[in-house]
Chain A
Amino acid sequence: MGIEEEFARWRAYASAQPTLAADDIAEMEGHLQDQVADLAAAGLDDDEAFLIAIKRMGRVDDISREFARVHSERLWKQLLPVAEPAGPERREVAVVLALAVGAALVVRLGIALLPDEVALRLAAVGVLPFLTAYFAWKRRLRPPVAGVLTAVFVVSGLLLGLLPFDDGGATGVLAILHAPVALWLTVGIAYAGGDWRSHERRMDFVRFTGEWIVYYTLIALGGGVLVGLTAGIFNAIGVDPTTVLATWVLPCGAAGAVLVAAWLVEAKQAVIENIAPVLTLVFTPLTLALLIAVLGGFIARPRVIDGGRDLLVLMALILVLVLGLWLYAVSARAPERAAGLFDRLQVAMLVAAIGVDLIVLVAMTARIAEFGASANKVAALGLNLVILVNLVRSAWLGGRFALGRGSLVELERWQTTYLPLYGVWAAAVVCVLPPVFGFA
């Protein structure tokens, strides 16, 4: 092996150490080269000289541990570059900030001009186009696709704004809850750069969504603390800050944070581990325990099950949680790793969720048959069914995978194929349910 290759191997090994920066490695490599040159001048051949130089340098692991004691910060990956962002990055920051301000202004205008409930109903139509625009800009979306997405937002806006929802009615509240879900998939088309048929892009969007939720929650927590402090201080000096905070700071902040969180997820994608799968790891066993406790509760008190539609709504939320845990575990799973204990735990969680849900569904179907349907019941029942179908198929595929048959690809394909259905269901709740139930 030539001496250049020896150096390259040493460099590659040193580069794998997280605490050694490129400059440190270059510095030490320079040292090795000086040493080799000196030893060669003293009559050794290159290979011998290299061996001695390496031996004197000491083990890379030891050096890297010493460096870690000096530069402990290097063990923590940094999201934002320490140096000032260069040209393209700076332009992206500018675009994101401009879009965030735009979203905040639209929300603020809605509050100023529209009745509260209409403004809430239109919030998603007001904010998500800016997020879509960000991805359209970043992924260089083709104009025809961008046109279709624009049309979707315009039509959604007209429907949500002009349909005669009753004030404070159930269908209005359902529309407020479901419109963001349906429109989020529209964002997904822009996220995928228009390539929405691709299973890989869909899975990327699932990952993005999980991280976005985590980042948005963190920003919301920080914002909440700031707002609380501000409110406290103004109250203490006798100025009532409620109106300003409720009609300016909170809504504008919430709208702007949508963009900022998305940008953070984009920026950190390759830098920092995804956090959603880590949370999955923590919460899967806990959720399994919760489901088993619920099952136990049902068995102990079978009468509670026809306690009303709250149970159905809660059950739908638990299913959303289980689905999320399952989805993020699948999205982060390394395909080459063999099935293990955690995979079996997950299948157990799916089976327990299906069991609990079936009990609730049977009870509620009987109840609807007896007392008639309402918009809320139908919405909760439908969400239950949409997720249940996914979970049953997932449990089947996951069980096969955990037993060493079947492949991970099958599992992923099933999830990504099913994805648009959530959007379709949400859109149906927004557009079909209200007329059926007379916008009550």
Chain B
Amino acid sequence: MSTPLRIDKDLVAASATPLVLGILAEEESHGYAILKKITELSGGRLAWTDGMLYPLLHRLERSGQVAAAWGVSETGRRRKVYAITATGRAALAERHGQWQVVSEALERIWDRFGDLGGDLGGDLGGDLGGEPSLGGA
């Protein structure tokens, strides 16, 4: 696998909330497990500063999108476990709609770049797993 792609921090910030809510929509979880899941889902390419997850979780808790409770892990350590709430599910559905619009629009742009054979291909080549020559042609 290639080295982690540097993703713009605004993009990370914008995607963080739906990612966390989406993970919690599957099952309740704690901070470390959420981050592991994000790494897993992105194939290790979406690298966060771990610490920033916690202020985000607190913000979601404050706005009522997740609920938190202290529990005990299998190793006997105290652990704060987060679960999505009904408000959170509604917010997630809304984000889902927004992201779909954005990604569909982007999808069309990428397609057109493919047709034009633009410079963009050079940048994306390595990360898309394609051959470097694709972009240069």
Contacts and interface: CB of A to CB of B under 8 A. Distances in A.
A167 interface: no
Contacts of B54: 24, 27-28, 31, 63, 67
Interface in A65-91: 66-67, 69-71
Contact of A69 (B55, B73, B79, B80): B55
Contacts of A66: 51-52, 55-56
A26 B59 contact: no
Contacts of A59: 51
Question: Chain A interface secondary structure, helix, strand, loop or mixed?
Answer: helix
Chain B interface size range: 20 to 34
B80 A58 contact: no
Contact of B49 (A33, A56, A67): A56
Nearest to A28: B54
A63 B32 contact: no
B50 interface: yes
Contact of B52 (A23, A24, A63, A71): A63
A426 to B, nearest CB: 54
Instruction: State the main secondary structure of chain B at its contact with A.
Output: helix
Interface string B32-76: 100100000000000001111011101100100000001001000
B32 A57 contact: no
A221 B50 CA distance: 49
Given A30-B32, A31-B32, A58 B59 contact: no
B51 to A, nearest CB: 4
Nearest to A20: B54
Given A27-B80, A31-B54, A63-B54, 11 more contacts: A24-B58, A26-B78, A28-B31, A28-B51, A30-B32, A30-B80, A35-B50, A57-B51, A58-B52, A67-B54, A71-B62
Interface of A: 23-24, 26-28, 30-31, 33-35, 56-60, 62-63, 66-67, 69-71
